[in-house]
Chains A and B, each alone.
Chain A
Amino acid sequence: MPATPTAAREGTTDMPTSYYLILSFVLFLIGTSGVLLRRNALIVLMGIELQLNAGNLALLAFSRQLGDQKGHAFAFVIIALAAAEAAVGLAILVALFRSRQTINLDEASLMKR
């Protein structure tokens, strides 16, 4: 194994970091538009998941670029966070569905009467 990732990849035809970042950005945009535009709460949760993973991808890309393992650590933390968020979010959705037989977000507007 090489001493540092960057040193090993010098001169090779590795993908540049910007590709990863662009992919990450695109994923984030897709996730965001899902969150903002879809009315199905399940899909919105999936959109949030996409946003989080876009963030993960960016972190890993920078981590690879800089040869710094901190990005990996952050990604793990975010994965754990995403799991927790999914559990809570799904629980809320189940509760929401039980109380009003729908998970359409337009119907869930109790905050404003």
Chain B
Amino acid sequence: MLFNLRLIPLMPFIGAALLMLFGRRWKRDTVVLVAAGAVLASCFVAFDAFFTRLPEVAETGGALTDVVWTWFSVGSGDTALKVDLAFRMDALSGLLCLIITFIGFLIHVYSAGYMAHEADYARFFAYLNLFCGAMLVLVLGDSLPVMFVGWEGVGLCSYLLIGFWYTDNANADAGKKAFITNRVGDFGFLLGMFLLFQYGGSLNFAEITAGATPSSALMQPFWLGQPVVFWAALLLFVGACGKSAQIPLYVWLPDAMAGPTPVSALIHAATMVTAGVYMVARLHAVYLLSPLAMAIVALVGAATAVFAAIIGFAQNDFKKVLAYSTVSQLGFMFAGVGTGNFDGGIFHLFTHAFFKAGLFLCAGSVMHAMSGSGDITRMGGLGKKLPWTHGVFVVCWLAICGIPIFSGFFSKDAIIAGAFATDLYREAGLAWVGKLVSFMLMAAALGTAFYMSRLYFLVFTGPSRADAETQKHIHESPGVMVGPLVLLAIGAALGGFIGIPGALVDHPELNLIGHLFEPVLGHELEIPHGIEIAFIVISTAIAASGIMLAWAFYGRGYREPAHQVAFKFPRFVALVRDKFRVDELYDAIIIRPLRGLARLLFQVVDRVLIDKFLVEGVGAAVDVIGRIARFFQMGDAQRYMAVFAIGAAGLVFFASRPPVPDDLRVTVEGMSVQVDARRSGRPSARELQYSFDFDDGREEKQTVPEAHHAYRQPGRYTIKVTVTDLRWGTSKSLKQKVEVQ
């Protein structure tokens, strides 16, 4: 144990803290050194843990763990809830760690160049470091609550970085939109977590996995005839939908492009948005118990893949195209994990991290060259002017299209073939789901090839459509930006080789990722050879036809077919360009009613109830009381003293009065009476004299508060007792009527 796992998230946190405290006063070089150094250090620890220590324990399904302290512990027995702040690295979280720290480091380096002219340099890197730390907590956390801390942490950093240029209102709004949309998802996440705990009894991943058996309490019916596990899985998936931008909560991600481009690359393409996929894979045991939930995950993923790809056809902003592409690719991942093909989903997550980060950084490089504009209708012909960026983009473009050898081909093919071959839903009578998802994904793959090729052709080929002034300034980015680009391109080109479908040539061990994940995620999905080969051919054909179609429309600039389509279906093209007006729909059915309700509450509750009644009412009441009280105030110290003296005299008077009972206790027995004049029946400490007048001429003076008297004749009498304080000479009397017979 050379390094503790806790060091992996701790390093970026320390970096963030240092940058927030001192960054403003440091030189830019120091800021970069601290920020990138912190991530590099945790990258080093992560690689060390993953490659030297994890293999020792991973073969047997074990994992590296590091318990920092007990976070909280409540209850006892069956309902005990104990959550440790603990980290756990197995093959799954380890691979994610490598992606986060390695790509995170590259993007820190790239940002050093990209943000070079930025005034708020230290703040940017502080947030970026904070993000890396939170993301590492998310993947390394060994229980749902710890994961949730990271989950919220990355959400916060996402918000802060989307609104990094906060002086522009649109950016601040985009940040708010991302945060609020995510809150919707987080609500589902929390509810799912509660359900899992209530019926599963644990929030620890290892215990959840061990406890998720067909005989567990999770299988009991809960609502609408579905078992607990279905609802827990579905609610958690709502959380995943928010974080990973799936229908219906995907709307924030395209807007999130308002942030700086390195942020889009790191947070909104490579890492944070894949957290939902990771979470589903992490809880695969739970999801596998409910084929229906799995079907929903797969269908939502496939629908998102198709839907976002279609929107990508008509976007004219470089980063917006990539944003919808990310939404679409995340859909692929969910379709992968949703069809029980967890290896495939995570594999695509891995390859996507490289090629999409590469694409985004290319976008940054292009926008850097184009004086900050991302409008692809004003680009073109950049291939010769930006040779490095062009080369990297080509590699990443071929990877995302799914051209063989490049990484995206392997992972996307694995998902599509897996969806077709899966028999996960057969028991639930939903066998059609796999086939449907597979066909939807093929359509999405065709769309992906088309819109990515459109982007490529419009930006890098043909004549330039930019104005002369912009053209003069086009230049290749500095080495500090190109270097990370090249490394990402290498990953995008070769990353696929860790997931070769080795079973095809009877060497399953060639599939490194499947082998790696077997102890964690179970056996990889078995795909019949025929289907595998067929899908390799089909995928390649789809990618090639998508690219050729795009060439026909957009090769070397806008071509005749592109204009024709826009001319023939103007309304449909406008609808796609407006992103199917989903934002407007949400605005109409959710935001406006909410605003109306808020306005109503404001006018009625706030303005009238709180302002008028409570605030002004209290004020008015005080005013009235003050007016009345003022009447008694004369402002003359001596008169106050006079009142004080009278009051003091009164106090003395009352205090010196003998303690007299509230009423006499008189007991009548025939002709005799018994009188008790003690206050509350207790003897007094003072020297008192009691004078009893029985109203028949007899009078008795004594120091005892009780007296007995026998009447001679029946009749009505008034007994009068006078209590005298012998020391003060004060007295008081009490009367009571009695009737004797």
Contacts and interface: CB of A to CB of B under 8 A. Distances in A.
Nearest to A44: B638
A105 B641 CA distance: 12
Interface in A90-113: 105-106, 108-113
Contacts of A106: 636
- Interface of A (DSSP majority class): loop
A44 B636 CA distance: 13
Interface in A38-65: 39, 44
Contacts of B645: 32, 35-36
B638 A112 contact: no
A33 to B, nearest CB: 10
A36 B641 contact: yes
Interface string B606-644: 000000000000000000000000100111111001100
- Interface of B (DSSP majority class): helix
Contact of B633 (A44, A105, A108, A112): A112
A108 B634 contact: no
Contact of A35 (B635, B636, B638): B638
A36 B642 contact: yes
B326 to A, nearest CB: 72
A35 B633 contact: no
A111 B633 contact: yes
Interface size class of B (residues with CB under 8 A): 10 to 19
A11 to B, nearest CB: 24
A108 B637 contact: yes
B281 to A, nearest CB: 76
A109 B638 CA distance: 10
Contacts of B635: 109-113
Contacts of A32: 645
A68 to B, nearest CB: 18
Contacts of B638: 35-37, 39, 44, 105
Interface in A78-96: none
A111 B641 CA distance: 14
A35 B634 contact: no
* Most chain A beta-carbon contacts within 10 A, residue among B634, B638, B641: B638
Interface in A10-28: none
B193 to A, nearest CB: 63
Contacts of A39: 638
A10 to B, nearest CB: 21
Nearest to A33: B645
Contacts of A109: 634-636
A49 to B, nearest CB: 14
A102 B382 CA distance: 93
A40 B636 CA distance: 13
A98 to B, nearest CB: 18
Contacts of A36: 638, 641-642, 645
A108 B645 CA distance: 20
A105 B639 CA distance: 10
A55 to B, nearest CB: 12
A74 B641 CA distance: 24
A105 B637 contact: yes
Contacts of A112: 630, 633-636
Contacts of B642: 36
A93 B706 CA distance: 59
A42 B130 CA distance: 71
Contacts of B634: 109, 112
A112 B642 CA distance: 17
B639 to A, nearest CB: 8
A111 B633 CA distance: 9
A111 B638 CA distance: 12
Nearest to B635: A112
B636 to A, nearest CB: 6
* Most chain B beta-carbon contacts within 10 A, residue among A35, A44, A110: A35
A108 B637 CA distance: 8
Contacts of B637: 105, 108, 111
A102 to B, nearest CB: 14
Nearest to B636: A109
Contacts of A44: 638
Contacts of B633: 111-112
Nearest to B648: A32
A96 to B, nearest CB: 11
Nearest to B634: A112
Interface string B639-663: 0011001000000000000000000
Nearest to A41: B637
Closest A-B pairs by Cβ, 7 of them? A112-B635, A111-B635, A109-B635, A36-B642, A35-B641, A109-B636, A105-B638
21 contacts: A32-B645, A35-B645, A36-B638, A36-B641, A37-B638, A39-B638, A44-B638, A105-B637, A105-B638, A108-B637, A109-B634, A109-B635, A109-B636, A110-B635, A111-B633, A111-B635, A111-B637, A112-B630, A112-B633, A112-B634, A112-B636
Interface of B: 630, 633-638, 641-642, 645
Given A35-B638, A35-B645, A37-B638, 20 more contacts: A32-B645, A35-B641, A36-B641, A36-B642, A36-B645, A39-B638, A44-B638, A105-B636, A105-B637, A105-B638, A106-B636, A108-B637, A109-B634, A109-B636, A110-B635, A112-B630, A112-B634, A112-B635, A112-B636, A113-B635
